[in-house]
Amino acid sequence: MKEFSDLNIQIEQTKIFEVPQVTIDEILNERVAVLDFQLDVETRFGGGRSVILLKKGEKEVKLFTDSKRIKTQLEKVDRNDLPFMAKVTVLRFGEKKKSYQFA
């Protein structure tokens, strides 16, 4: 009988950053280092999310986001420019609407 490893089945590798997760509020308006990221990640909240590996102080953390502005900014990042420093800021549109972006 064959071993599974002999079947040469490949799956698409995703970046699963094995570090603690933070919320966007925990890093809002703080300078962090963006170390790596993956776009179009499926989570329990749906698809199209992004996961970002950050360095906050001396600690590596990850952030899941569905912010369209941040995703658009990440799509334009040349991977040769990693890592880079950034600050996540919030733009408010009225009383309850807001959006996040890198500054």
Which residue in the block uniquely carries the two structure tokens 């790596």?
36
Residue 88 buriedness (CB in 10 A; 0-12 / 13-18 / 19+): buried
pLDDT of residue 61: 97
What pTM did the predictor assign? 0.83
Supply φ then ψ for residue 23, to 5 degrees.
Answer: -95, 160
- Looking at per-residue pLDDT, the higher value among 50 and 4 belongs to 50
Domain edges within the chain: 18-102
Per the CB < 8 A criterion, the answer to whether 17 and 62 are in contact is: yes
Joined tokens for residue 84: 């880079």
pLDDT of residue 16: 76
The per-residue pLDDT for range 8-17, each reduced to its tens digit, is 887 766 677 9
The per-residue pLDDT for range 26-79, each reduced to its tens digit, is 999 999 999 999 999 888 888 899 999 999 999 999 999 999 999 999 999 999
